[in-house]
Amino acid sequence: MLVLDGAGVANTQIAASATGPHSGPGGSVTVAADALTVEGGARIASTTFGPDKAGDITVAVANAVTLSGTGPDGASGITASAQPGSSGQAGEVVLTAGGAIALSGGAKATCSTAGAGNGGTVQVTAQGPLSLSDPGTGIVASASSTANGNAHLPIGRRSC
């Protein structure tokens, strides 16, 4: 079981980023675990501040996934993003679980862009129930520029 707990500790994360106007693409982030809990504002992230794409994030979990709560750096979750001033697109987020996926307390799975590039795609696949509870919790693809993003949820069972 992998637990990332950011309670009271800023910058608790597994991350890759590309910074600066001459940076290359962000690195990919791959996480494989029997079970996964991300809580207290911890994150699995890939970010670009530059001209190239943020890396893709692939999370494959044999059993259950729990994303919950917020912390000093904001919401817990899995996020690929292109930051303001960047021209690269956000990476893709692929979350696959052999069991249930539960998001609560404002946690998120997101792809977003605040730059010129596209927002990327969020794909969530659960073999068990998918539940989203509490305000601010979500699976989101967003763009705050003229770009776009996609969310893909192939779900057999869900509860919201």
The pLDDT, as a whole number, for residue 31 is: 97
Over the chain, what is the mean pLDDT?
A: 84
What pLDDT, in 10s, does the model give residues 133-145? 999 999 988 777 5
The pLDDT, as a whole number, for residue 16 is: 87
**At 154, is the pLDDT very low, low, confident or very high (cuts 50, 70, 90)?**
low
| Main-chain dihedrals φ then ψ at residue 31, nearest 5 degrees | -125, 130
- Contacting residues for 112 by C-beta, under 8 A, at least 6 apart: 79, 80, 81, 82, 90, 119, 120, 140, 141, 142, 143, 144, 149
What pLDDT, in 10s, does the model give residues 1-57? 999 999 878 889 999 887 777 676 778 999 999 999 999 999 999 887 777 777 899
| Main-chain dihedrals φ then ψ at residue 136, nearest 5 degrees | 85, -10
Share above pLDDT 90 across residues of the chain, in percent, rounded to a whole number: 51
Highest mean pLDDT, choosing among 50-64, 87-101, 125-139: 125-139
pTM score, whole prediction: 0.85
The pLDDT, as a whole number, for residue 156 is: 45
Average pLDDT over residues 121-135: 93
Average pLDDT over residues 61-66: 98
